[in-house]
Amino acid sequence: MSETRRSYCGLCHPRCGTLLHIENGKVVKVTGDPDHPINRGAICARGRLMPDHIYHPQRLNYPLKRTGERGQGGWQRVTWDQALDEVAEKLSSLKEKYGAETLTFTHGTKRTYHWDCRRFFNLFGSPNTCGVNTICMCPSYATEFATYGGMIMGSEVPASRCIVMWGCNASQSNPNILYPMIVQARKNGAKMIVIDPRRTREADKADLWLQIRPGTDLALMLGWIRLIIAEDLYDHEFVSNWTVGFEELKTEVASYTPEKVSEITSVPADLVVGSARMYAASRPAVIPFGLGLDKQGINATQCARGRAIIRAITGNLEVPGGEVFSLTGEVGKIRDAVYLEINDVLPESQRVKQLGADQYPFFGFPGWEKNSAANKKLPEGYMAAPEAWHSNLAHAREVMNAIITGKPYPVTAAITLANNPLLALPNTQQVFEALKALELYVVMDYYMTPSAALADYVFPASTTVEQPELWLTSGFCMACPQGIDPIYERRNSYDFYRGLGVRLGQEKYWPWKTVEEVYDHCLEPVGLTFKQLVEQYGVLGQRQYRRYEQLGFGTPSGKVELKSSIFEELGADPLPHYREPKWSPVGSPKLAEEYPLILITGSRFMPMYHSEQRQIEKARKKVPDPLVTIHPKTAEKLGLSTGDWAVISTPHGSIRQRVKLSDAIHPKMADLQHSWWFPEREPNLPELFGVFESNANLLCPDAPEFCSPEIGSWPHSALLCRIDKEQEAS
C-alpha cells in the first residue's frame, strides 16, 4: 500500500515542507512539498537522504547505560523509565552536594526544540548552558538587539537592489531558501558584492569580489563607514532623527582611509572605494548574516556591530527590499520561545554564578537583561524579545575549565542534546579532558557519536519526521507536521526534559503531556490549535515598514545606537575598533615564518551538515574523506598533489586531511573542512571513531587573547597553519 503524507525536514535550519512517500508503512522517498509557502517544493541533496537517515542501521533506538569504564564501549539496554529515574536521582544528589550550578548543558546549532532545555535548566536552578551559539549567529543577534532592538532576518532579499554576501556562502549553506532569493534578486537586476577570501560560486557571479585577508573585515567596514560619511552617501534624515553617536562614530573611523584599509585587508584601494559606493548608492540593499564574520574570533562581535551600523546609516532599516526585523502582526501574538523558557524562575542568586559572565557580561545575564528591558519598552508583539537561548550563555571554555579544575566551583554533570562537542567546540583536547572528568554525562542523539561514546547514559532521539514542531521565526510561524510515528523507542527532547523534570519535582511546570499540547497552548491567543495550523501551513507575518516612526527602536535611547550604551555600561567598546588577529602574518610575523598559511575552517559543503551524514553511504560517496583546499602553486611548492594526505599543524595541534587543489583560494591560504570523524572506525578509546585524526578543532584555540572581548567568540577562522606532506609509515 502506498500513500503520501505531509511532513518537514529538520536536517538543517529552514524546516522545509516535505512529502513522505510511504510504501507498506515505510518512507521510501522524500520530495519537497510544492504547496509549502516557504520552500515551495524545493528540496536539497541532504533532504533527499532523509529515508537513509530514518532507517539507518546505526541509529540509536533504545536508551543505553554504560557498563565498564568510560569510553570502552560497554553498554546495556535499559528502559526509558529506568534511565530517567537513575539520571534524575544522580542529578538530585549532585545538586545537593554542589548546588544546581554543577549541571551544565552543551548545545549545537538549533536542531530541535530548545526552549524545553532552557525551561528545565531554569527550574533546576543552573545558569550554565553553553555551546556553539557563542560563535554562531548569536553574536549578531545579541549585538543587533543592543544596536537597534531586534535581529534582521533577510526576508526582503528578492526585492533588494544590492546584495552584499559578506562571509556567507549561501549556495552551499542555505541552498533552498536564501540562495534562490539571491538568484531571484539578480534576475530582477540587483547588484551583488561578495566579500570572501575564497572565490565562491557567488563570487564568480558577482559584480565585485573582494578577496579579503581573513579576520580583517572590521577594518573594511570602518573604511566603508568613513567613505560613506566623507562622500555624503549616508541617509541624513535617518541619521539625525533616529540614531545616537554619529559624531563619535565619525571620529572613530576618520583614520580608515582606503589606503590604510587596503594595507590591512589586502583588498585594492579602488575596490574598497568602489564597493562602498556601489552599496551606498544602490538602495534598498541587504547584507545577510554570514558566519565568516562570526567565526573570526577577536573582531567577531564588532563586525556584527559594524554591519549593523552600515545598514542603519544608509537608511536600509525597515524599508521595502531592505533590512526588516522579525515578527509583526498576528505572529507577534503567538506565545514564543521566550515565553516558554520561563527565565524569571531562575533567581538572581543563581544568575550571578553563570560561568564566564564576569569576563563577557554582555553575553550573559547582565547583557540579556539590558536587551530585554529595552525590548519591553515597546508594545508586546511588536518585536520579538531576545531569547535567552540565543543571547545569554555561559562560556564553553570556562565551563570546561571548571569541570577539569573544580574552580571556581565544581561542575560535575552535563547534558548534551543535538550537539557533538568534541567536533563542534574549539580546543578539542580540553573538551575531551572535561567530558572524561564528569561524574555524570548524558547524551541524546540520533547516533553513537564520539561525544556520546563518553557518556554514562545515551538516549535515542526521534527524527524530525517522527515529531511535530512549531517553527516560529523571522516573521512567520509554521506548523511542521509529524509524518510518521516514532519507531523503536525514539523520543523527542520535550519528552526527555519533561521526564526528568517531573522526577525532579517540577511537575507543576510541565502540565502538557505532549509537545503538541504545548503548541496548542502557544497558539491559543490566535484562536488556533496546532492541527488547525497544520491545515493552513502557518501564519505569515504582515510586512510593515518604518514602524519606528511611531514607536522608536527597542534600545535604551529608543534610537539606533551607533555608539552602544549597553556595551559601554558593561565595560565593552561602545564603538567598533579594529584589532589584528593574534595569529596572523601581521600580528605575529615570527610565528608566520613557521606557520606561513592563513587558515580558515568549516566552509560549508553539501551534502554534509557539520559532523553529520558521515554514516550515510550516499553522502559519503560524494565526500569520502576530509579535504584541505590549497592553491595549485602552494601545493607545488610543498610537493603535494590532489589526493595526497597532508599534515596540517597550528601551534595548537596537528591533523591529517586529503589535499584538494583549487585556484579559488589565495596561494597564502588553506581551507580546512571541519567536523570530521569516522563512524566506521573503532568506537572505544583511544580511537574514539578517529575523532583525533582529522578534526579541525584540534587546531583551533580558545584562550581569551583569541576571543572577542565582548562575547568571548572564539576563532574557527583567521588563524595560521603549516602544511606538510604526510610521511609514509615505514
Binding region for Mo ion (CB under 5 A): 109, 136
Minimum distance of ligand SF4 from residue 53's CB (angstroms): 10
Using the CB atoms, write b or e for 578-592: b if 16+ within 10 Å: bbbbbbbbebbeebb
CA 443 to chain centre: 20
Minimum distance of ligand MGD from residue 12's CB (angstroms): 5
395 binds, among ligand MGD, ligand SF4, Mo ion, none (CB under 5 to 8 A by kind): none
9 binds, among ligand SF4, ligand MGD, Mo ion, none (CB under 5 to 8 A by kind): ligand SF4
> Which x/- pattern, by CB under 6 A, does the window 4-33 give for ligand SF4?
-----x-xx-xxx-----------------
Minimum distance of ligand MGD from residue 489's CB (angstroms): 14
Closer to ligand MGD by CB, 160 or 613: give it.
Answer: 613
User: How many residues can be counted in the chain?
Assistant: 730
CA distance linking residue 363 with residue 142, whole number of Å: 7
CA distance linking residue 175 with residue 32, whole number of Å: 13
Using CB positions, name the residue nearest to Mo ion: 136
CA distance linking residue 398 with residue 128, whole number of Å: 10
CA distance linking residue 269 with residue 140, whole number of Å: 27
Q: Describe the crossing of helices 80-98 and 493-503 by its angle, rounded to 10 degrees.
A: 60
Minimum distance of ligand SF4 from residue 532's CB (angstroms): 24
386 binds, among ligand MGD, ligand SF4, Mo ion, none (CB under 5 to 8 A by kind): none
Cell triple for 133: 551559539
The backbone torsions φ and ψ at residue 721, rounded to the nearest 5 degrees and listed phi first, read -150, 170
CA distance linking residue 412 with residue 435, whole number of Å: 10
Contact footprint for ligand MGD (CB under 6 A): 10, 12, 108-109, 111-112, 132, 136, 166-170, 172-174, 195-198, 200, 212, 214-215, 217, 290-292, 295-296, 417-420, 424, 444-447, 449, 461, 600-606, 608-612, 674-675, 696-697, 700, 716-718
At a CB cut-off of 8 Å and minimum separation 6, what does 598 contact? Answer: 197, 213, 214, 584, 585, 666, 668, 669, 670, 718, 719, 720
Minimum distance of Mo ion from residue 608's CB (angstroms): 13
CA distance linking residue 6 with residue 10, whole number of Å: 14
Q: Which stretch binds ligand SF4 (CB under 6 A): 38-46, 59-67, 80-88, 436-444?
A: 38-46
How far from each other are the two terminal CA atoms of the chain, in whole angstroms?
Answer: 58
Closer to ligand SF4 by CB, 40 or 579: give it.
Answer: 40
Q: Which stretch binds ligand SF4 (CB under 6 A): 42-50, 145-153, 442-450, 534-542?
A: 42-50
3 state DSSP class of 519: helix
The backbone torsions φ and ψ at residue 164, rounded to the nearest 5 degrees and listed phi first, read -110, 115
CA distance linking residue 665 with residue 688, whole number of Å: 33
Across 201-345, where does the E strand assignment appear?
208-210, 243-244, 285-286
Minimum distance of ligand SF4 from residue 176's CB (angstroms): 4
Closer to Mo ion by CB, 109 or 257: give it.
Answer: 109
Minimum distance of ligand SF4 from residue 59's CB (angstroms): 18
Using CB positions, name the residue nearest to ligand SF4: 47
DSSP conformation letters of 76-103: EE--HHHHHHHHHHHHHHHHHHH-GGGE
Q: Tell me whether strands 476-480 and 538-540 are parallel, antiparallel or unpaired.
A: antiparallel
700 binds, among Mo ion, ligand MGD, ligand SF4, none (CB under 5 to 8 A by kind): ligand MGD
Backbone conformation region of residue 137, classed left if phi is above 0, alpha if psi is from -120 to 50, else beta? left
Across 624-691, where does the E strand assignment appear?
627-630, 645-650, 653-661, 669-672
Cell triple for 97: 552536594
Closer to ligand MGD by CB, 382 or 692: give it.
Answer: 692
Minimum distance of ligand SF4 from residue 8's CB (angstroms): 8
716 binds, among Mo ion, ligand SF4, ligand MGD, none (CB under 5 to 8 A by kind): ligand MGD
Minimum distance of Mo ion from residue 136's CB (angstroms): 3
Binds ligand SF4 by CB under 6 A, chosen from 27, 33, 38, 47: 47
Cell triple for 491: 523520543
Backbone conformation region of residue 89, classed left if phi is above 0, alpha if psi is from -120 to 50, else beta? alpha
Q: Which stretch binds ligand SF4 (CB under 6 A): 43-51, 263-271, 499-507, 539-547?
A: 43-51
262 binds, among ligand MGD, ligand SF4, Mo ion, none (CB under 5 to 8 A by kind): none
* Residue 43 touching ligand SF4 (CB under 6 A): yes
Closer to ligand SF4 by CB, 12 or 646: give it.
Answer: 12
Minimum distance of ligand SF4 from residue 617's CB (angstroms): 17
47 binds, among Mo ion, ligand MGD, ligand SF4, none (CB under 5 to 8 A by kind): ligand SF4
* Residue 44 touching ligand SF4 (CB under 6 A): yes
Cell triple for 530: 496546532
Binding residues among 142-201 for ligand SF4 as defined by CB under 6 A: 175-176
43 binds, among Mo ion, ligand SF4, ligand MGD, none (CB under 5 to 8 A by kind): ligand SF4
Q: Which residues bind ligand SF4 (CB under 6 A)?
A: 9, 11-12, 14-16, 43-44, 46-47, 175-176
